[in-house]
Protein backbone atom coordinates (compact mmCIF):
# COMPACT_ATOMS: atom_id res chain seq x y z
CA UNK A 1 0.00 0.00 0.00
CA UNK A 2 1.47 3.32 -1.08
CA UNK A 3 1.38 5.40 2.14
CA UNK A 4 1.17 8.77 0.38
CA UNK A 5 -1.56 7.55 -1.93
CA UNK A 6 -3.42 6.01 1.03
CA UNK A 7 -3.24 9.23 3.04
CA UNK A 8 -4.48 11.30 0.08
CA UNK A 9 -7.36 8.87 -0.50
CA UNK A 10 -8.20 8.94 3.20
CA UNK A 11 -8.25 12.74 3.24
CA UNK A 12 -10.54 12.83 0.19
CA UNK A 13 -12.80 10.20 1.73
CA UNK A 14 -13.06 12.19 4.97
CA UNK A 15 -13.89 15.31 2.96
CA UNK A 16 -16.68 13.50 1.12
CA UNK A 17 -17.99 11.84 4.29
CA UNK A 18 -17.70 14.93 6.48
CA UNK A 19 -15.23 13.59 9.06
CA UNK A 20 -12.51 11.00 9.55
CA UNK A 21 -13.62 7.85 11.37
CA UNK A 22 -12.60 4.19 11.60
CA UNK A 23 -15.13 3.31 8.88
CA UNK A 24 -13.38 5.65 6.47
CA UNK A 25 -10.05 3.91 7.07
CA UNK A 26 -11.65 0.49 6.55
CA UNK A 27 -13.47 1.58 3.39
CA UNK A 28 -10.36 3.07 1.80
CA UNK A 29 -8.29 0.00 2.65
CA UNK A 30 -11.03 -2.39 1.45
CA UNK A 31 -11.16 -0.49 -1.83
CA UNK A 32 -7.41 -0.57 -2.38
CA UNK A 33 -7.32 -4.29 -1.62
CA UNK A 34 -10.34 -5.13 -3.80
CA UNK A 35 -9.24 -3.03 -6.76
CA UNK A 36 -5.77 -4.55 -6.75
CA UNK A 37 -7.22 -8.07 -6.53
CA UNK A 38 -9.37 -7.60 -9.66
CA UNK A 39 -6.76 -5.73 -11.68
CA UNK A 40 -8.30 -2.25 -11.65
CA UNK A 41 -5.57 0.42 -11.55
CA UNK A 42 -7.47 3.58 -12.54
CA UNK A 43 -11.04 3.28 -11.22
CA UNK A 44 -11.96 6.91 -11.88
CA UNK A 45 -10.31 7.05 -15.29
CA UNK A 46 -9.38 4.41 -17.84
CA UNK A 47 -10.96 1.55 -15.84
CA UNK A 48 -14.17 3.36 -14.84
CA UNK A 49 -16.34 1.45 -17.32
CA UNK A 50 -14.98 -1.88 -16.07
CA UNK A 51 -15.90 -1.58 -12.39
CA UNK A 52 -18.98 -2.36 -10.33
CA UNK A 53 -19.03 -2.60 -6.55
CA UNK A 54 -21.63 -4.26 -4.34
CA UNK A 55 -21.73 -2.71 -0.87
CA UNK A 56 -23.48 -4.69 1.84
CA UNK A 57 -23.84 -1.88 4.41
CA UNK A 58 -25.11 1.67 4.55
CA UNK A 59 -22.42 2.93 6.88
CA UNK A 60 -19.34 5.16 6.79
CA UNK A 61 -17.24 2.68 4.83
CA UNK A 62 -19.64 2.97 1.88
CA UNK A 63 -18.78 6.65 1.46
CA UNK A 64 -15.10 5.70 1.45
CA UNK A 65 -15.67 3.04 -1.20
CA UNK A 66 -17.50 5.59 -3.36
CA UNK A 67 -14.74 8.15 -2.83
CA UNK A 68 -11.92 5.78 -3.81
CA UNK A 69 -13.63 3.93 -6.67
CA UNK A 70 -15.76 6.67 -8.17
CA UNK A 71 -18.65 4.19 -8.23
CA UNK A 72 -22.07 5.53 -7.32
CA UNK A 73 -25.74 4.61 -7.30
CA UNK A 74 -26.43 7.36 -9.83
CA UNK A 75 -23.96 5.88 -12.31
CA UNK A 76 -25.35 2.39 -11.57
CA UNK A 77 -21.82 1.21 -10.77
CA UNK A 78 -22.51 0.85 -7.04
CA UNK A 79 -25.13 -1.67 -5.98
CA UNK A 80 -26.53 -1.53 -2.45
CA UNK A 81 -27.18 -4.98 -1.04
CA UNK A 82 -28.92 -4.41 2.30
CA UNK A 83 -27.23 -7.25 4.21
CA UNK A 84 -25.94 -5.20 7.16
CA UNK A 85 -22.44 -6.66 6.76
CA UNK A 86 -19.13 -4.80 6.58
CA UNK A 87 -18.41 -6.31 3.19
CA UNK A 88 -17.88 -5.13 -0.38
CA UNK A 89 -17.56 -7.09 -3.61
CA UNK A 90 -15.44 -5.54 -6.35
CA UNK A 91 -16.10 -6.78 -9.90
CA UNK A 92 -14.08 -6.22 -13.06
CA UNK A 93 -16.67 -6.30 -15.86
CA UNK A 94 -13.96 -6.73 -18.48
CA UNK A 95 -12.54 -9.92 -17.00
CA UNK A 96 -15.47 -11.12 -14.90
CA UNK A 97 -13.17 -11.37 -11.87
CA UNK A 98 -14.86 -10.54 -8.56
CA UNK A 99 -13.48 -10.41 -5.03
CA UNK A 100 -15.48 -10.00 -1.83
CA UNK A 101 -13.70 -8.21 1.03
CA UNK A 102 -15.12 -8.65 4.53
CA UNK A 103 -13.97 -6.86 7.68
CA UNK A 104 -12.88 -9.39 10.30
CA UNK A 105 -14.87 -8.95 13.51
CA UNK A 106 -11.80 -9.54 15.67
CA UNK A 107 -10.16 -6.46 14.14
CA UNK A 108 -12.17 -4.32 16.55
CA UNK A 109 -10.71 -5.95 19.65
CA UNK A 110 -7.24 -6.19 18.10
CA UNK A 111 -7.22 -2.40 17.76
CA UNK A 112 -7.00 -2.05 21.55
CA UNK A 113 -4.09 -4.50 21.58
CA UNK A 114 -2.22 -2.30 19.09
CA UNK A 115 -2.76 0.86 21.12
CA UNK A 116 -3.66 -0.07 24.74
CA UNK A 117 -2.72 3.42 25.92
CA UNK A 118 -5.61 4.93 23.94
CA UNK A 119 -8.71 4.71 26.12
CA UNK A 120 -11.29 5.76 23.53
CA UNK A 121 -11.99 2.66 21.44
CA UNK A 122 -12.82 4.65 18.30
CA UNK A 123 -9.55 6.57 18.49
CA UNK A 124 -7.70 3.26 18.96
CA UNK A 125 -9.52 1.77 15.98
CA UNK A 126 -8.79 4.80 13.81
CA UNK A 127 -5.07 4.50 14.50
CA UNK A 128 -4.89 0.69 14.47
CA UNK A 129 -6.83 0.26 11.21
CA UNK A 130 -4.13 2.33 9.52
CA UNK A 131 -1.36 0.14 10.96
CA UNK A 132 -2.81 -3.38 10.84
CA UNK A 133 -1.93 -5.78 8.02
CA UNK A 134 -4.65 -6.58 5.47
CA UNK A 135 -4.73 -10.18 6.73
CA UNK A 136 -5.61 -8.93 10.23
CA UNK A 137 -8.36 -6.64 8.99
CA UNK A 138 -10.02 -8.52 6.16
CA UNK A 139 -11.09 -11.85 4.79
CA UNK A 140 -11.09 -11.97 1.00
CA UNK A 141 -12.69 -14.50 -1.29
CA UNK A 142 -13.00 -14.94 -5.01
CA UNK A 143 -16.69 -14.96 -5.92
CA UNK A 144 -18.83 -15.20 -9.03
CA UNK A 145 -21.34 -12.42 -9.66
CA UNK A 146 -24.03 -12.53 -12.34
CA UNK A 147 -25.07 -9.01 -13.23
CA UNK A 148 -28.42 -8.94 -15.01
CA UNK A 149 -28.68 -6.80 -18.17
CA UNK A 150 -31.19 -4.52 -16.43
CA UNK A 151 -28.64 -3.85 -13.67
CA UNK A 152 -25.79 -2.80 -15.94
CA UNK A 153 -24.73 0.85 -16.18
CA UNK A 154 -26.25 2.77 -19.06
CA UNK A 155 -29.65 3.86 -20.24
CA UNK A 156 -32.78 2.04 -19.04
CA UNK A 157 -33.60 -1.04 -21.08
CA UNK A 158 -37.34 -0.69 -20.57
CA UNK A 159 -39.89 1.73 -19.08
CA UNK A 160 -43.48 0.80 -18.29
CA UNK A 161 -46.41 2.68 -16.79
CA UNK A 162 -47.97 1.40 -13.58
CA UNK A 163 -51.62 0.64 -14.24
CA UNK A 164 -52.60 1.78 -10.72
CA UNK A 165 -50.77 5.06 -10.02
CA UNK A 166 -49.61 6.01 -13.53
CA UNK A 167 -45.96 6.46 -12.52
CA UNK A 168 -43.27 4.96 -14.73
CA UNK A 169 -41.04 2.07 -13.68
CA UNK A 170 -37.61 1.51 -15.23
CA UNK A 171 -35.24 -1.40 -15.62
CA UNK A 172 -37.71 -4.24 -15.18
CA UNK A 173 -38.59 -3.37 -11.59
CA UNK A 174 -42.34 -3.68 -12.29
CA UNK A 175 -44.53 -6.39 -10.78
CA UNK A 176 -47.12 -8.35 -12.77
CA UNK A 177 -50.08 -9.16 -10.56
CA UNK A 178 -53.42 -10.51 -11.75
CA UNK A 179 -52.54 -9.57 -15.33
CA UNK A 180 -51.75 -5.94 -14.42
CA UNK A 181 -48.42 -4.13 -14.57
CA UNK A 182 -47.78 -2.43 -11.23
CA UNK A 183 -44.99 -0.58 -9.50
CA UNK A 184 -43.79 -2.20 -6.28
CA UNK A 185 -45.62 0.22 -3.95
CA UNK A 186 -48.94 -0.40 -5.74
CA UNK A 187 -48.27 -4.14 -5.53
CA UNK A 188 -47.91 -3.72 -1.74
CA UNK A 189 -44.14 -4.17 -1.87
CA UNK A 190 -43.10 -0.58 -1.22
CA UNK A 191 -41.47 1.08 1.74
CA UNK A 192 -44.29 3.64 2.04
CA UNK A 193 -48.06 3.75 2.04
CA UNK A 194 -50.36 6.57 1.03
- Domains of the chain and any CATH numbers: 3-148 (3.30.1330.130), 155-194 (3.30.60)
Cβ-count burial of 177 within 10 angstroms (0-12 exposed, 13-18 middle, 19+ buried)?
A: middle
What is the arithmetic mean of pLDDT over 99-127?
92
C-alpha dist (Å) from residue 184 to 118, 147, 158: 49, 21, 16
Q: Report pLDDT for 39.
A: 96
Average pLDDT rounded to a whole number, residues 45-71: 95
Residue 189 pLDDT more than 90? no
pLDDT 10s digits, 163-184: 999 999 999 999 999 999 999 9
Quick check: 1 pLDDT over 50? Answer: no
* 182 to 124, 156, 158, 172, 190: CA distances (angstroms): 51, 17, 14, 11, 11
Q: How far is 169 from 182, CA to CA, in rounded Å? A: 8
Q: What pLDDT sits at residue 154?
A: 86
Amino acid sequence: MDTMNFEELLQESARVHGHLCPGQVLGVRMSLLGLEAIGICDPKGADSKSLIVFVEMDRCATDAVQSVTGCSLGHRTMKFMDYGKMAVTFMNLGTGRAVRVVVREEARSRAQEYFPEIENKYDAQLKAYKAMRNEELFNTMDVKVKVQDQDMPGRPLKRVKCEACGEYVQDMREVCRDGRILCKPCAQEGYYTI
